[in-house]
A and B are shown apart, each in its own frame.
Chain A
Amino acid sequence: MGLREDLERFREVGEERREDLESFIRYGDLSGSDTDHIQIPIKVVDLPEFEYDRLDRGGVGQGDGGTPDVGQPVGQPQPGDGDGDEEGDDGEPGEEGGEHGYYEMDPEEFAEELDEKLGLDLEPKGKEVIEEVEGDFTDVTRTGPNSTLDFERLFKQGLKRKLATDFDEEFVREAMKVAGETPQSVFQWCRERNILVSLAWIESEWDEIEAEEREKWDSFAEMESNVERTTAVQRIRRKGLREVPFRRDDERYRHPEIEEKKQKNVVVVNIRDVSGSMRETKRELVERTFTPLDWYLQGKYDNAKFVYIAHDADAWAVEREEFFGIRSGGGTRISSAYELAKEILEEQYPWSEWNRYVFAAGDSENSSNDTTEKVIPLMREIPANRHAYVETQPGGTAINATHAEEVEDAFSEDGDVVVARVSGPEDVTDAIYEILQPASSKASTASPAGSS
C-alpha cells in the first residue's frame, strides 16, 4: 500500500495507453520533449469529466501594463496558479494538452525500445579513457611479495631449463672411451650431435675414465652403433626428477592487470539545408528524422554532444532550439556545412576519443559539381562511425536534386555511409533503421524506404 504502488500502477496504466512508439515517431508531437526527457502522449490518461467546450468558454486575462484593445489576438493565455501546485481549475486555454497525458521516458529507455521495435543492435564503442581500474591478477612483474610468486611458472621454467641443459651423461662417457680422442675432440663431436655438454664437464670427467676402458671403441661410429642414446624424458622417468634448476630469472610475481575503462562518447553532427527550397513539409520531415536519432544516440552513449549546423550557401553552427526553425533564402552549397563540421570535429571531438555520427539532411539540391568535387572528398576526410544523408523530397525527386544519388554512388562500397530517402512521415522509421543499422547488414537491406 502506498504511493509507490500508485506510481507503479500509473506506469502500467500509462504504458498500456501510451502511443505506439513507431507511430509516435512518425506522426506524434515531438516538440514537448528535449534530449533528456522524451514525452510520449498517452491516449487517455486522465479521467474525463464534464467540461465546457474550450473554444466556446473564452476567459479572463490581465493586461500587462495597460488594457489591451478589443479585437487584439491574445495568443495562448497562460495557465495560472502562483505556487505551481497545479489545480487546473482556473480554466485558461492552453492548459489542456500541456499538463496531462504524457508518458515520459528517458533516452536510455527510448533507445532500448527502439532497438526492440526496429531490431537494431548498435554496439557503441568506448573511446576516451576515463579511468584505470585494477582488473584480475593476470599481469606479472619480476618483484613482489612472496604470496604473489607464480610458482607454477617458476617450476615450469626450471623444468624447461633442466630439459634444455640435460644430456645423456652415459652416452658422453662412452664417447670419451673412443681411442685417440681428446676432451677437445669429444666436445667437438658432441656439439655436432647436439648434445648439450660443456667442455668443462668433459675435462672434469676425463680423468675418471678407467685406463683399461680408454680404447674401448675404435671410432665414434662404432660406439654409436653399440650404445643406445636415451632421451631426457626417458632419463627423468627412469631416475626421477631429482633436481630442478630454479633461477631467480624465472621468478615472476603476479600482479593485477590495469584495465582501461573507456567512456562511450558520441558527437552527433546534424546538418540541415535551410535554403529557400526547404519548405515547411521538408523541414518537418528533417525534424522528425533527426530528433529520434538524437534521442537514440543520447540513450546509447554515456556522453552525447550535439552539433547543429545550418547551411545555405554558407554554414553556421546554431543551438538546437533554433535549428529546426531556421529558414533562409540563399542558394545551396552543402560542402560549406561539411567544411564547418570538419573544423569543429577536429578541434573539439578528436576521432581517437569520440564516436562520430554525421547526419545531413536536405532536398538533394546542391550547386553544380559541389557534391563530387567537394562534399564527397570531405566526407572521406572526416572519419566517422556513420555518415548519413537524409533526402526529404515529399512527392518524388526533382530533376536537379542529385546529391543523394551522387553520394550513394560514390560510397556504394562503404558500409559507413548511408543514404536514406524520406518522402512522408511513414518513411521516417525505415530511414532511422537504415541510418542506424550495423554497417555489415547494409548490403542485404532491401530497397530503401520511400525511394521513388
Chain B
Amino acid sequence: MTTRPRRFRRVARQEADRLEEPVREAAALARKLGLDPYPVNYWVVDHDEMNQLIAYGGFQARYPHWRWGMTYDRQRKQDQFGMGKAFEIVNNDDPSHAFLQESNTLADQKAVITHVEAHADFFRNNEWFSRFSGDGDLDAAAMLERHAETIQRYVSDPEIDREDVERFVDAVTCLEDTIDQHRPLAADRDGERSQPEDLRERLDEMDFSPTVSGAVFDDEWLDELAEAEAAAADLDRPRTDVLGFLLEHGTVYDEESGEAVEMEPWQTEVLELLRREAYYFAPQKMTKTMNEGWAAYWESLMMGEERFAGTDEFLTYADHQARVLGSPGLNPYKLGKELWEYVENTANRREVAEKLLRVEGVTWRNFHDVVDFDRVQSLLEPPAAIDAIRPDTLENLAALSEDDPRVDWETLDRALSDPVAVDVGRYPWKVLTYEGLAERHFSLVKPQNRGFLRRVRRLELEEISRYMFDDAKYGSVEEAVADVGKTVGWDRMREVRESHNDVTFLDAFLSPEFVESNDYFTYEYTRSTGDFRVASTDPDDVKKKLLLQFTNFGKPTIAVFDDNFENRGELLLGHRYNGIMLDLDEARDVLERVHELWGRPVNLMTIRKEYDDHDVEIARRRNREPEPVEVGVRIRYDGEGFDEFELDPGLKERIAADDIDYDTKPDEWLS
C-alpha cells in the first residue's frame, strides 16, 4: 500500500474537511469527560484501502505473508455483499492512527471518531499496553514497517529460498499465542534451566586426596548426580513463553548432515521479530471486551446523551449502535459496555448508600424501610441549569455561585459575549466542567437504572457500615444527597481501566445480579443426545465458563517442560490440563510446525477424555452423561510420523490442575 502513488483525491479531501470540526470537538469532549487519549491522526480512506488496513491488522505495512491476502480476500467479499462493514480501525500507537471510510455517513463518522477517542485513551492508560511500550516511545507503525522490510529482504534474497521463509513464518505464527503475555517482552528470562552447580568444582576446592575422591566421588557417580539434578530442575518451572524458549534454544534440522544445527541468522531474526509482534498485539487480545466496551460506553455518551450526533443524524446513529450492540452471540461490545455500566452504577450506588447510611436513624438493617427511594431519586436529579443547556438558558448557569466547580466559567463568559464562537446550541458541554458533566450524566437517575439503588443488598450495606464511624453526620436525607460525589462512578471506571484485563475485569465485575439480568447461560455438548444443550444458568457457572473463554486468549496453556527429554535432546511440551481437552488433530498439526523450529523430535503431554461406547449407551438410556476416563498421553513427532505413548503418572500429575473445573453440566443431566 505504501508503494501506491499518492493520489490527490478530491472526495477524500472534501470528507477530511467536513470532519475537521467533529474531530477537534470530539477530542475536546473526551478530555472534558476525564479521558486522556493519545493524540489521534485521522485518515480518510476508500473502502478498498479500508479492507487492506483490516487485513494488515490496522497498519499500512506488514511483512509479506499469504495470510494477509486471505483476510483481504475475505474482507473484500464481505464488503461486496454489504456485510461486515468496518466502522472503525484505530491502532495502538502514539500518536494513534484511525481510519475513516470516505463513504460513511456523517453520523457514522462521528460515531467512529468518538469511539476512537475512547480507544486511544484506553491504549494510553491501560497498564497491559504500557508493558510493551515501557517507558520508551511507542512507534508501532514504524516497528511493523521495519519488520516488513527485514522479512521482505529475506524473501527476495536469492541465497534464501522464498518457500523456506514462508514455511518458517508459518511455523512461528502457529505459536503466536503461546507466549507469556503477562510479562513484558524482555523480562522473561526465568524458567531457564537452573543449572545445578557441578559438584566437581567444589570438590576440587576442598582439595581431597585423590584416593578419597576416587573412592567416594568417582566420575561415574558425579555424572549421575549431575544428570539427576538437571532432570529435576527441568520440570521446576515450565516455561509458557514457548516462542521465547525456541528463540534461545531452537535449532533446525539439516537435511545434509542429518542432525539439528543452529538456526540461520535470518531464522533467528524472523523468530525474534514475530515474537515481538505477538507481544505487541497481545494486550489488544487480552482486553478486547474491556476496550470495546469502554469505547462503546463513551461513544454512546458522547453521541447520544451529549448529542454529538446532530438531531438529523441521531436516528442513523441509533440504528448503527443497535446493530453493533445487537449482533448475536457473545458480543464484546455489548458485554463490555454492560459491565462498564455496572462498574459505574455500583460505584455510584455505594457512594449514595454511604451518604444515606450517615443520616441519623438510617442503618443497614432498616435501610430499605426508611429510605424513600423516589425522593432520593428526585434529589439526585441534576438541577435544570445543568440538565438543559441551550443558548437561552445560559443565564441560569451564570446565576450559580461563582465558585461552582461544575461550571466552566471562562467558556461561559465567552459564550455569553460571543455566542457564535462557542456554539452552545451544538456543544452545550463546553460550558461545563468534568464535575458538571458527571452530575449531568449521573448514572443512577437515568431511566434504565431506576431501581438500581433500591436493589442494593443488605449484605453490601452491612459491609459498608462496618467501617463507618461517624454514622450520624447528616440530619436529613436532603443534606446527605447534596453531599453525594457525582464523579465517583467515572473516577472508579478510570481506575479500573488502568489496571485490569478481560479476565480480571470479568472476575471482579461479573456479578450474579449482572448474569441474571442479562439472561446468560452456559451450554455444553452432551454425548447422549449429540448436541449442545443449555447446561446452567447459575451465575457462578456462567462466570466460570466466561473466564475459560478469556483466560489465555481462550486457548489452552502450553509450556515447555523439558528441552532434553529422556536425555535425547527432545523437546517436551506440556498442556496444562484444566479439565478441557485439546483439539488433538490441530495439536498434531502444530507439532509438525514446532518440529521445524526444534530440529529434533518434539513431544506433547496432554490428557485425553475417552468415552466407552458401552457407557455412552447406558448413559443415554438413563438420561445421564457418560463419565469419561482421563488418560494421560504423550504424542511424539519425529519429523516423519507420530507416535503415542502413555504418559508417565508423575508427569500426568504435573500437567493436570485439580483445583479448576470448567464443566458446568448438572449432575442430573436432561432429567
Contact = CB atoms under 8 A, between A and B. Distances in A.
A13 B77 CA distance: 18
Interface in A37-67: 37, 44-67
Interface in B523-582: 523-525, 529, 531-537, 542, 545-546, 548-549, 553-556, 558, 575, 580-582
Interface stretch (A25-33, A85-93, A195-203, A442-450): A85-93
Given A9-B66, A50-B587, A56-B609, A82 B331 contact: yes
Contacts of A211: none
Interface stretch (B214-222, B253-261, B514-522): B514-522
A82 B609 CA distance: 34
Interface string A375-413: 000000000000000000000000000000000000000
B425 interface: no
A77 interface: yes
Given A50-B178, A61-B523, A62-B330, A71 B533 contact: yes
A347 interface: no
B177 interface: yes
Interface of B: 1-4, 52, 54-56, 64-70, 72-74, 77-78, 83-89, 148, 152, 166, 170, 173-178, 285, 288, 292, 323-334, 516, 518-525, 529, 531-537, 542, 545-546, 548-549, 553-556, 558, 575, 580-584, 586-587, 589-590, 593, 609, 662-664, 666, 669-671
A412 B111 CA distance: 69
Contacts of B516: 67
B532 A76 contact: yes
Given A85-B86, A89-B553, A93-B532, A58 B69 contact: no
A99 B663 CA distance: 27
Contact of A53 (B1, B524, B583): B583
The 10 closest A-B pairs by CB, nearest first: A84-B84, A80-B329, A63-B519, A10-B69, A48-B589, A6-B69, A7-B69, A58-B524, A55-B525, A9-B66
A90 B582 CA distance: 17
B77 A65 contact: no
A77 B662 CA distance: 19
Contact of A79 (B1, B68, B288, B329): B329
Contact of B324 (A1, A3, A82, A93): A82
A25 to B, nearest CB: 22
Contacts of B670: 71
A46 B170 CA distance: 10
Contacts of B590: 48-50
Contact of A49 (B54, B88, B174, B662): B174
B549 A70 contact: no
Nearest to A59: B523
Contacts of B52: 3
Contacts of B532: 58, 73-77, 93
14 contacts: A3-B1, A3-B72, A6-B67, A10-B73, A11-B69, A48-B587, A68-B519, A77-B523, A81-B327, A81-B329, A83-B84, A83-B88, A84-B85, A85-B89
Interface of A: 1-3, 5-14, 37, 44-87, 89-93, 99, 104
A52 to B, nearest CB: 5
Contacts of B334: 82
Given A5-B69, A50-B590, 13 more contacts: A3-B55, A47-B67, A50-B555, A53-B584, A58-B525, A64-B519, A65-B519, A74-B523, A74-B532, A82-B332, A90-B330, A91-B330, A91-B549
B2 A83 contact: no
Contacts of A12: 66
Given A47-B174, A90-B549, A7 B521 contact: no
B68 A80 contact: no
Nearest to B623: A71
Contact of B522 (A44, A60, A71): A60
B327 to A, nearest CB: 4
Interface SS of B by simple majority: mixed
Contacts of A92: 329-330
B77 A70 contact: no
A26 B89 CA distance: 42
B64 A5 contact: yes
Contacts of B173: 47
A58 B66 contact: no
A67 B83 contact: no
Given A7-B69, A51-B582, A73-B531, A104 B327 contact: no
Contacts of A104: 73, 77
B536 A81 contact: no
A60 B671 CA distance: 21
A81 B329 CA distance: 8
A78 B542 contact: no
A51 B555 contact: yes
Nearest to B524: A58
B73 A56 contact: no
A9 B72 CA distance: 12
A414 B254 CA distance: 66
Given A2-B2, A58-B522, A60-B549, A48 B586 contact: yes
A11 to B, nearest CB: 7
A2 B531 contact: no
Contact of A84 (B83, B609, B664): B83
Contact of A89 (B72, B288, B663): B288
Task: Name which of B330, B518, B535 has the most chain A CB atoms within 10 A of its CB.
Answer: B330
A68 B54 CA distance: 37
A92 B537 CA distance: 17
Contacts of B531: 73-75
B583 A70 contact: no
A52 B581 contact: yes
Task: Name which of B323, B525, B553, B671 has the most chain A CB atoms within 10 A of its CB.
Answer: B525
A73 B582 contact: no
Task: Name which of B83, B88, B178, B554 has the most chain A CB atoms within 10 A of its CB.
Answer: B554
Contact of A80 (B331, B582, B666): B331
A13 B169 CA distance: 14
Contacts of A62: 329-330, 518-521
B658 to A, nearest CB: 17
Contacts of B529: 73
A128 to B, nearest CB: 28
Contacts of A67: 516, 519, 521, 537
A89 B285 contact: yes
Contacts of B324: 82-83
Nearest to B170: A47
Contacts of B64: 1, 5-6, 9
B69 A3 contact: yes
Contacts of B534: 61, 68-74
Given A2-B1, A5-B64, A77 B329 contact: yes
A48 B593 contact: yes
Nearest to B49: A3
B580 A57 contact: yes
B522 A84 contact: no
B317 to A, nearest CB: 15
Nearest to B604: A50
Nearest to A13: B66
Contacts of A14: 70
A44 B585 CA distance: 12
A2 B3 CA distance: 8
Contacts of A60: 330, 520-523, 542, 545-546, 549
Contacts of A9: 64-66, 69, 166
